[in-house]
């Protein structure tokens, strides 16, 4: 807990401006660490949210995209000889201001690789800020589609709202947030230890969910064991921070034909099946595994629940 900033420790009060400009107040109850791409907190909602009145005094997940507290800022060292691989990049307001200014003038810097005229610390800030904004936008687009589907509240969390985190301190960026259903009594597959507790029902439900996501217009693209939650009565896919949605910002970005090309390339259902039926491999074999999976191309593949994954849009039994 000593690495967790005071702002996010249990008991801390956070203020949010919601998408409809309501002032929402929440109190932190629990923190999920490490902070890899965002800060995920269990919070108690202590002011009313008119669109979801039942949330008052209940728990929710608050996912905050604040670049200030990410693990990646720490130095990294070689596991072979302990030598420094990457220096630490501590947060400073000055660097954040420089990065924000740079992004205004060069919005494509990072997407089209970096401009030459910025120093490495500012480049790092530009990278983190752009990635945070991109991931948040992808999650919001995906949840807008999923919130209206029967998956919501069952195999994907209910999407309550999105908004901004209101901070007392001076910042050059506004951390974006999303507010989701908190699912108690679940464990990510990466923390399960023993995948023997995953039942055929979990596998079937999760693979069918991946198929349905694609049909609804969402490709997940980041199916890993940390993003699948298992409980006695729930099997849930989370974390749409790398997803692609057919509708983005309310605009249909892919024709139906083009959409199925995205789906074919993703292989979300196969990836889900693997994560819940194969034990977590060692890091080395995991990398080999990933290479192998990427290089296979879209071939026909029978999943353990009977689905046949083919080289086009349909999955059939």
Ligand X SMILES: Nc1ncnc2c1ncn2[C@@H]1O[C@H](COP(=O)(O)OP(=O)(O)OP(=O)(O)O)[C@@H](O)[C@H]1O
Residue selected from 141, 212, 239, 273 as contacting ligand X according to rule CB under 6 A: 239
For Cα atoms 125, 126, 132, give the angle at the middle one, nearest 5 degrees. Answer: 90
For position 304 contacting ligand X by CB under 6 A, the verdict is no
Q: Smallest distance, Å, CB 11 to Mg ion?
A: 25
- Residues that bind Mg ion (rule: CB under 5 A) add up to a total of 3
Tell me the chain's radius of gyration from C-alpha atoms: 20
Q: Could you tell me where the beta strands, DSSP code E, fall in 19-142?
A: 23-32, 39-45, 59-65, 76-77, 84-86
- Residues that bind ligand X (rule: CB under 6 A) add up to a total of 19
Residue 111 tokens, joined: 């997407």
* Residues 110-129 as x/- pattern, contact with ligand X by CB under 6 A: --------------------
| Nearest alpha-carbon partner for 195 in 267, 270, 269, 274 | 274
Using the minimum distance from each CB to ligand X, give the nearer residue, 212 or 239: 239
- Which one of 4-12, 139-147, 203-211, 226-234 is the stretch in contact with Mg ion (CB under 5 A)? 226-234
Phi-psi region of 193 (alpha: psi -120 to 50; beta: other; left: phi over 0): left
Burial (CB count within 10 angstroms: exposed 0-12, middle 13-18, buried 19+), residue 221: middle
Binding to ligand X (CB under 6 A) within 54-113 occurs at: 61, 63
Using the minimum distance from each CB to ligand X, give the nearer residue, 157 or 217: 157
Using the minimum distance from each CB to ligand X, give the nearer residue, 40 or 207: 40
Tell me the backbone φ, ψ of residue 215, rounded to 5 degrees.
Answer: -70, -30
Using the minimum distance from each CB to ligand X, give the nearer residue, 61 or 211: 61
Residue selected from 125, 141, 239, 268 as contacting Mg ion according to rule CB under 5 A: 239
37 makes contact, choosing from ligand X, Mg ion, none, with CB < 5 to 8 Å by partner type, with ligand X
For position 209 contacting ligand X by CB under 6 A, the verdict is no
Contact 57, 45 (CB under 8 A): yes
Tell me the backbone φ, ψ of residue 180, rounded to 5 degrees.
Answer: -130, 165
269 makes contact, choosing from Mg ion, ligand X, none, with CB < 5 to 8 Å by partner type, with none
Q: Smallest distance, Å, CB 256 to ligand X?
A: 29
Residues 28, 34, 39, 42, Cα dihedral to 10°: -30
For position 161 contacting ligand X by CB under 6 A, the verdict is no
Using CB under 6 A, list all residues that contact ligand X. 32, 36-38, 40, 61, 63, 157, 180-183, 186, 188, 226-227, 238-239, 241
Using CB under 5 A, list all residues that contact Mg ion. 226-227, 239
């Amino acid at each position: 807990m000593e690495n967790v900033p005071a702002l996010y420790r249990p008991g801390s009060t956070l203020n949010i401006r919601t998408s409809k400009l309501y002032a929402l107040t929440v109190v932190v109850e629990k923190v999920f660490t490490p902070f890899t791409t965002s800060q995920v907190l269990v919070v108690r909602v202590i002011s009313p949210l008119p669109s979801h009145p039942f949330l008052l005094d209940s728990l929710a997940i608050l996912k905050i995209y604040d670049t200030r507290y990410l693990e990646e800022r720490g130095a990294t060292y070689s596991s072979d000889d302990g030598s420094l691989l990457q220096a630490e990049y501590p947060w400073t307001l000055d660097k954040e201001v420089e990065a924000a200014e740079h992004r205004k003038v060069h919005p494509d810097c990072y997407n089209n690789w970096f401009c030459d005229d910025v120093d490495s610390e500012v480049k790092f800030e530009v990278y983190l800020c752009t990635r945070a904004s991109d991931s948040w936008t992808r999650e919001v687009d995906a949840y807008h589609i999923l919130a209206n589907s029967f998956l919501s509240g069952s195999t994907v969390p209910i999407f309550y709202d999105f908004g901004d985190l209101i901070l007392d301190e001076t910042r050059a960026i506004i951390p974006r947030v999303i507010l989701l259903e908190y699912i108690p009594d679940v464990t990510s597959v990466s923390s399960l230890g023993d995948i023997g507790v995953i039942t055929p029902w979990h596998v079937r439900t999760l693979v069918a969910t991946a198929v349905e996501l694609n049909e609804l217009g969402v490709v997940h693209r980041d199916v890993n064991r940390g993003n699948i939650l298992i409980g006695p009565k729930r099997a849930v896919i989370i974390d749409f921070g790398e997803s692609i949605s057919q509708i983005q910002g309310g605009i249909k970005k892919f024709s139906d034909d083009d959409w199925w090309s995205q789906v074919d390339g993703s292989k979300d259902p196969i990836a889900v099946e693997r994560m819940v039926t194969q034990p977590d491999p060692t890091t080395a074999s995991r990398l080999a595994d990933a290479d192998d999976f990427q290089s296979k191309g879209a071939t026909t593949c029978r999943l353990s629940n009977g689905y046949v994954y083919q080289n086009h849009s349909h999955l059939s039994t």
